[in-house]
């Protein structure tokens, strides 16, 4: 995960050892020395080969919206970054430090959907179903490496500008497994692709990925909705020409959000923290210092929905300092090339499920 070539060379033996461990784990599961659990309800896994940044949460939310009108859906996640341990149901009033930011974001946006966190999805899924016996399908967030569970449908995500075939295994690159592990996927979704992606560009990536004959390839992109006020989602940001903003993030890749505002404001200041960053009082002090230096008449702060759940403990700070902060929602959309439609693929696959 470094751009320093000398350091990459020094870390190469470590990466080979890491890769050897990943290969051994894959071998043991493929030979059934280690056993995966198959459940009586279909488990749809959303995951990636790299660490962070491919857009798992918006794709989980997309699947919730796609499937929940037809069957009772439950969601299970590891709950990355939480302080709690073991199995835990997520409720809307939880704090991100107890559940992880992404599960809490999903629960708040989908209050009727049971959401649980558990380091072991193999033991967590039965507990989730035990609490909600009417669940007819499970969406497993970040499940590609969680071989303890045998998913009915395995969906692998890879970012358009950072394809797994162009990367290397940790710590030299960002991959958690060798690119060959993509063979386990039923479908690959290239995420964050251009809105105006052409068929020729899609075909070029298809040739590059060299998928197996049974694997389908889809392309998704991000659609930005109107930003809304941190304290009241009913109050939307009224965009005006010009202005100066701070983009406050603690995500793997803030560049798409920054790019979204490039043509909407005159000046952008980025305060970017690591993915899943727990915002501190010191961070708020740095934010206030940057905010006080904004010079233009129109000025405000923009953050993501994922960051907003970790900024909740600082609500009093934003209110007392009268700092206008807005949350930028996103949703996933899919391109449709040559009659291949992601929605139909998922629905038809679930219709074929037999317990």
- Between strands 244-249 and 232-236, the pairing is unpaired
Q: What is the spatial distance between Cα 305 and Cα 227, in angstroms, rounded to a whole number?
A: 10
Q: What is the pLDDT of residue 52?
A: 78
Q: Which two tokens stand for residue 143?
A: 């499940």
pTM equals: 0.93
Q: What is the spatial distance between Cα 83 and Cα 99, in angstroms, rounded to a whole number?
A: 8
Q: What is the pLDDT of residue 176?
A: 96
Residue 324 and residue 214 in contact, taking contact as beta carbons nearer than 8 Å: no
Q: What is the pLDDT of residue 2?
A: 56
Q: What is the pLDDT of residue 184?
A: 97
Q: What is the pLDDT of residue 189?
A: 98
Q: What is the pLDDT of residue 355?
A: 73
Q: What is the spatial distance between Cα 141 and Cα 110, in angstroms, rounded to a whole number?
A: 15
Q: What is the pLDDT of residue 3?
A: 66
Report the chain's terminal Cα–Cα distance, integer Å: 41
Closest CA to 71 of 59, 79, 63: 63
Contacts of 206 (CB under 8 A, 6+ apart): 217
In three-state form (DSSP H/G/I as H, E/B as E, the rest C), the secondary structure along the chain is CCCCHHHHHHHHHHHHHHHHHHHHHHHHHHCCCCCCECCCCCEEEEEECECCCCCHHHHHHHHHHHHCCCCCEEEEECCCCCCCCCCEECCCCCCHHHHCHHHHHHHHHCCCCCEEECCCHHHHHHHHHHHCCCCCEEEEECCCCCCCECCCEEEEEEECCECHHHCCECCCCCECCCHHHHHHCCEEEEECCCCCCCHHHHHHHHHHHCCCCCCEEEEEEEEECCCEECCEEEEECCCCCCCEEEEEECCCCCHHHHHHHHCCCCEEEEEECCCCCCCCHHHHHHHHHHHHCCCCCCEEEEEEHHHHHHHHHHHHHHHHHCCCEEEECEEEEECCECCECHHHHHHHHHHCCCC
- Asked whether the bond before 112 is cis by omega within 30 degrees of 0, the reply is no
Q: What is the pLDDT along the chain (355 residues), one digit of tens a residue?
A: 556 788 888 898 999 999 999 999 999 999 999 999 999 999 999 999 999 778 999 999 999 999 999 999 999 999 998 999 999 999 999 999 999 999 999 999 999 999 999 999 999 999 999 999 999 999 999 999 999 999 999 999 999 999 999 999 999 999 999 999 999 999 999 999 999 999 999 999 999 999 999 999 999 999 999 999 999 999 999 877 778 999 999 998 999 999 999 989 999 999 999 999 999 999 999 999 999 999 888 899 999 999 999 999 999 999 999 999 999 999 999 999 877 799 999 999 999 998 7
Q: What is the pLDDT of residue 319?
A: 96
Please provide the size of the chain in residues.
355
Q: What is the spatial distance between Cα 125 and Cα 330, in angstroms, rounded to a whole number?
A: 28
Closest CA to 253 of 49, 46, 105, 56: 56
Q: Which two tokens stand for residue 110?
A: 């989908």
Q: What is the pLDDT of residue 117?
A: 98
Q: What is the pLDDT of residue 163?
A: 97
- CATH 3.40.50 for domain 228-328, yes or no, is yes
Q: What is the pLDDT of residue 53?
A: 74
């Amino acid at each position: 995960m470094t751009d320093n070539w000398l350091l990459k060379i020094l870390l190469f033996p470590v990466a080979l050892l890491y890769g050897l461990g990943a290969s051994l784990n894959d071998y043991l599961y493929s030979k059934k020395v280690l056993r995966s659990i198959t459940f009586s309800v279909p488990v749809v896994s959303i995951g990636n080969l790299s660490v962070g940044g491919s857009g798992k949460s918006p794709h989980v939310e997309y699947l919730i919206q796609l499937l929940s009108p037809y069957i009772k859906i439950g969601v299970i996640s590891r709950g990355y970054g939480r302080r709690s341990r073991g199995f835990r149901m997520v409720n809307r009033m939880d704090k991100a430090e107890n559940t992880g930011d992404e599960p809490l974001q999903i629960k708040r946006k989908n209050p009727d959907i049971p959401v649980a966190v558990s380091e072991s999805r193999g033991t967590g899924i039965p507990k989730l179903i035990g609490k909600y016996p009417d669940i007819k399908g499970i969406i497993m967030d970040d499940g590609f490496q969680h071989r303890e569970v045998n998913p009915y449908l395995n969906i692998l995500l890879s970012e358009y500008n950072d394809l797994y075939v162009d990367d290397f295994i940790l710590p030299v690159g960002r991959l958690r497994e060798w690119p060959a592990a993509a063979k386990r996927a039923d479908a690959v979704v290239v995420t964050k692709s251009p809105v105006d992606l052409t068929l020729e560009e899609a075909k070029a990536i298809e040739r590059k990925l060299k998928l197996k004959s049974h694997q389908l390839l889809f392309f998704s992109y991000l659609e930005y909705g109107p930003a809304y006020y941190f304290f009241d989602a009913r109050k939307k940001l009224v965009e005006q020409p010009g202005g100066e903003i701070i983009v406050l993030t603690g995500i793997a890749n803030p560049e798409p959000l920054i790019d979204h505002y490039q043509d909407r404001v005159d000046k952008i200041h980025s305060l970017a923290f690591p993915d899943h960053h727990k915002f501190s009082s010191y961070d708020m002090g740095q934010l206030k210092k940057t905010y006080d230096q904004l010079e233009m008449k129109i000025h405000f702060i923009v953050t993501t929905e994922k960051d907003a759940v970790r900024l909740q403990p600082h609500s009093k700070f934003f209110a007392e300092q009268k700092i206008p902060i807005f949350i930028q929602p996103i949703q996933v959309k899919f391109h449709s090339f040559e009659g291949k439609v992601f929605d139909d693929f998922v629905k038809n696959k679930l219709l074929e499920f037999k317990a």
